[in-house]
Amino acid sequence: GTPASMSRFRGALVAAVLGDCVGGEFEGAEEVPMETVLQHLSGLEDETKGNCVLEYSDDTAMTRCVVQSLLNRSGYDQQDLARRFAKEYSASPGRGYGSGVIQVLKKLASPQLVDVYQPARDQFNGRGSFGNGGAMRAAPFALAFPNLPDVKRFACLGAMLTHSCSLGYNGAVLQAMAVHLSLQGALCLPQQFISRLITEMEEVEGEEEALRDARILKEAEKPFCERLHRVRDLMDRNKVSIEEVISELGNGIAALHSVPTAIFCVLHCLQPRDYLPESYGGLERTIAYSLALGGDTDTIACMAGAIAGAHYGVEAVPQRWMRCCEGAEDADMNAARLHALYHQTSQGG
């Protein structure tokens, strides 16, 4: 498709929901044989099963808040978004939220709250969360703002409502940038795609707070850059085992151990793989592969889904999969509305 086409917007938002819904089955599993993944996915194709419903988790619940807020406020409004997060959590607390972020969401509900970023700063003894909860809901920022500086800035602020550690919010910046570039068609040149992400993250991680957090947490000087270099090394190789991907990139709940992993899943699945069905297109391969990594499967598949969906477009999403996923229809409709906002913004409106 052409850059920033409607199909890419719909693909991004719908495939993110799909990843979350189908990935929920394996969240936290240590090892997930590919055979089990393929069985789970072919279960969605089974018409005789009638109306299968896979519920979405916190990943989609919070993404929906971001989408609704951006649309309603025609841009980023921290008060509005904070209120929506709090309201959504109190309406459906059972969506599988991270154990730490629940405290933030409860505080955000207080009408006395003056600084909406303060509850996030109080997390984990004042250092803030490095979980992937900011990154899992970052895709809509790439679908609302056409300019990269805006995407970076608002993805960062939107994540800081719950994640004040740079290893948390910079994961959101990276995820939003990956969706932004994919939307432009940048995945047609995978080498340039990863190089561009590294160049951008060099700058992002050169900030003082990022350097300080990395030092305190005893990570590499620029942790996301280091991981992206590993992604580049892995994608250059012909054969890579799942075990190697997990040990090099991780499959955990930290943004650092999941956002580069999701990006790798997309890059690795641009080509057919002999352990994935020949009938699968790139989007199906990406989701299946993400689940086979185990660990934080709903979130890795959600993030990989958003990037892949922006590349392949909505036509690549299997109708039967979509019908099984709660919130997929809604995502499709809202993607069209974000498409309008994006193109309105790009004309300076």
**With binding defined as CB under 6 A, does residue 213 bind ligand R7I?**
no
Ordered DSSP codes for 83-95: HHHHHHHHH-TTS
**With binding defined as CB under 6 A, does residue 190 bind ligand R7I?**
no
Closest CA to 83 of 97, 68, 99, 94: 68
Number of Cβ within a 10 Å radius of residue 94: 9
**Contact (Cβ atoms closer than 8 angstroms) between residue 21 and residue 326:** yes
**Contact (Cβ atoms closer than 8 angstroms) between residue 314 and residue 329:** no
| Rounded least distance, CB 15 to ligand R7I, Å | 16
Contacts with Mg ion by CB under 5 A lie at: 57-59, 96, 296, 298-299
| DSSP character at residue 295 | S
> Which residues are paired to 155 by β-bridges?
none
Residue 131 near which of ligand R7I, Mg ion, none (CB within 5-8 Å, type-dependent): ligand R7I
**With binding defined as CB under 6 A, does residue 59 bind ligand R7I?**
yes
| Rounded least distance, CB 220 to ligand R7I, Å | 17
User: Among residues 15, 22, 58, 260, which is the contact residue for ligand R7I, using CB under 6 A?
Assistant: 58
User: Among residues 19, 133, 140, 158, which is the contact residue for ligand R7I, using CB under 6 A?
Assistant: 133
* Assigned token pair, 72: 């309603």
Tell me how many residues contact ligand R7I (CB under 6 A): 22
**Contact (Cβ atoms closer than 8 angstroms) between residue 89 and residue 83:** no
Binding segment (CB under 6 A) for ligand R7I, from list 67-75, 126-134, 263-271, 333-341: 126-134
**With binding defined as CB under 6 A, does residue 170 bind ligand R7I?**
no
| Rounded least distance, CB 95 to Mg ion, Å | 7
**With binding defined as CB under 6 A, does residue 124 bind ligand R7I?**
yes
**With binding defined as CB under 6 A, does residue 171 bind ligand R7I?**
no
Alpha-carbon gap, residue 345 to 342, rounded angstroms = 5
Alpha-carbon gap, residue 6 to 12, rounded angstroms = 10
Alpha-carbon gap, residue 327 to 69, rounded angstroms = 17
Alpha-carbon gap, residue 179 to 139, rounded angstroms = 6
| Rounded least distance, CB 346 to Mg ion, Å | 32
User: Among residues 151, 253, 304, 328, which is the contact residue for ligand R7I, using CB under 6 A?
Assistant: 253
| Rounded least distance, CB 27 to Mg ion, Å | 5
- Return the number of the residue (276 or 293) whose C-beta is nearest ligand R7I: 293
Site string (283-312) toward ligand R7I, x via CB under 6 A = -------------x-xx-------------
Residue 200 near which of ligand R7I, Mg ion, none (CB within 5-8 Å, type-dependent): none
Helices marked H in the chain? 6-23, 34-45, 58-73, 78-91, 101-108, 118-121, 123-126, 139-144, 148-160, 166-183, 190-204, 208-216, 223-235, 242-249, 259-268, 282-292, 297-312, 319-324, 328-345
Residue 204 near which of Mg ion, ligand R7I, none (CB within 5-8 Å, type-dependent): none
* Assigned token pair, 167: 């290893």
**With binding defined as CB under 6 A, does residue 334 bind ligand R7I?**
no
Amino acid identity, residue 160?
Answer: M
| Rounded least distance, CB 349 to ligand R7I, Å | 33
Give residue 209's Cα distance to chain centre: 23
**With binding defined as CB under 6 A, does residue 218 bind ligand R7I?**
no
- Would you tell me which residues interact with ligand R7I (CB under 6 A)? 57-59, 96-101, 124, 127, 129-133, 136, 165, 253, 296, 298-299
